[in-house]
Amino acid sequence: MPLNRPDKEYAPAPGLAQRWASRYVQGYLRRQPALDSPDPHALKRARRWIIAWAALAGMISGTLIGGAEWFMREFATGHWEAMSLREQLPYWAGYLAVAGTITALEIGFLYWNALRGVANITRLAGLHYGQTDALEPDIQLTVHGVSRAALEYPSPGSLIYGVDPHAYLHGWRLTFRSLLYRLKISLSSFLLRLLLRRLLGRLTLRGFLPVLTGPLYAAWNAWIAARIIQEAYLQARGPALVKHLMKTLADSDEHTRRLVAQGVGELIMRNQHPHPNLVLLLARLLDSLTGKPQALEVDWPIALRDYAQLPAPARQTLLNTLTQAALLSGTYRGSRKKFLAEVFATCQTPLRNEDIKAQQRRLLSGQAP
């Protein structure tokens, strides 16, 4: 039985916004020829422009919103502090209408900037999407992934080849995380503005509100844009690097590939997110096994026991592959760092953090990890 396509496994039922975003990215990639290999200088310039536009939008938005409150307090009425809350309500209603309109326009621009940015970064990273690639599972998976990254969508909660990304996230934690993400998507910028207004409103700096809020909003937007672009770049590099990893595993025995698949499944659960690169790698690993199993049952304690018993060459292959898998799924810290520390300790091999960080720098700069 053929293995289910990784793009269908990752996004079995994409919503309207994701479908629209995916079509935008596909259209961009069809119009713009992809590079044969990543261009580090072009990637750096593109990242700077995307982050700069996001920061500029925040600067303008923050200055206008801060200026609106300053104008309301200083010029709309001459005795603001003496007014009761009921008397202030019409002014606050007008302020919130202005702030809400500016925020909506800013969020719309940020989504457009993010979508155009991830499409451009994907092209510069060397992802080829020709007229005949629309049904290519690897490419379609990446398009789904970068579209979700641009929209800041939470990770899909469905099983990935039998692996539950939320296996380590139960009960109230899962509910709280889902609620927090929904609030972040819909209200983060607007709530940030209200919070800063309240904090700064308690200071004796009301006249400096436009000066203070502009840079703060700019920094907030720049941080989000940088995070989105880095994630899009990692996903765009995924198909080529996963193909390279599978070539390095071609001479390995099936037992080693099964153990690598166990590690990838565990990494998906540790990350609490089915990263598209890990989904693709897991699909290729399962496809290389006898019988092409449709699902993977992760048994981490048994996998660790088998890791410790591997001969030296197979052990080194496993460590190299899982290191690259961890780097392809995000920054070397947190759950990924703990995962690799556990695997290396089990294999009785020193974990050289500086070497892994150097690999990550090469990967993020446009070179092979």
- Whether the per-residue pLDDT at 101 is higher than 80: the answer is yes
Report whether 176 contacts 152 (CB < 8 A).
no
Instruction: Confirm whether 296 is domain-assigned.
Output: yes
In terms of Cα–Cα distance, which of 286, 289, 300, 367 is closest to 327? Answer: 367
Instruction: Confirm whether 369 is domain-assigned.
Output: no
Same domain, 216 and 249: no
Q: Tell me the pTM.
A: 0.84
Mean pLDDT comparison of 30-34, 124-128, 218-222, 297-301, highest-scoring range: 297-301
The set of residues, in sequence order, having a beta carbon less than 8 Å from that of 350 and lying 6+ positions away, is 344
Question: What does the pLDDT average to over 28-48?
Answer: 82
Last residue of a domain, one of 173, 207, 236: 236
Q: What is the pLDDT of residue 32?
A: 78
Instruction: Confirm whether 1 is domain-assigned.
Output: no
Same domain, 229 and 104: yes
Last residue of a domain, one of 201, 236, 271: 236
Question: What does the pLDDT average to over 258-278?
Answer: 93
- Whether the per-residue pLDDT at 367 is higher than 80: the answer is no
Model confidence pLDDT, tens digit, residues 236-254 = 998 889 999 999 998 889 9
Tell me the pLDDT band of 364, cut-offs 50, 70 and 90: confident
Q: What is the pLDDT of residue 201?
A: 53
User: What does each C-alpha distance from 195 to 158, 213, 234, 283 come to in angstroms?
Assistant: 35, 11, 33, 45
Among 10-24, 81-95, 325-339, whose mean pLDDT is lowest?
Answer: 81-95
Instruction: Confirm whether 33 is domain-assigned.
Output: yes
What is the span of the domain harbouring residue 336?
239-364
Same domain, 302 and 231: no
Q: What is the pLDDT of residue 158?
A: 80
Same domain, 214 and 258: no
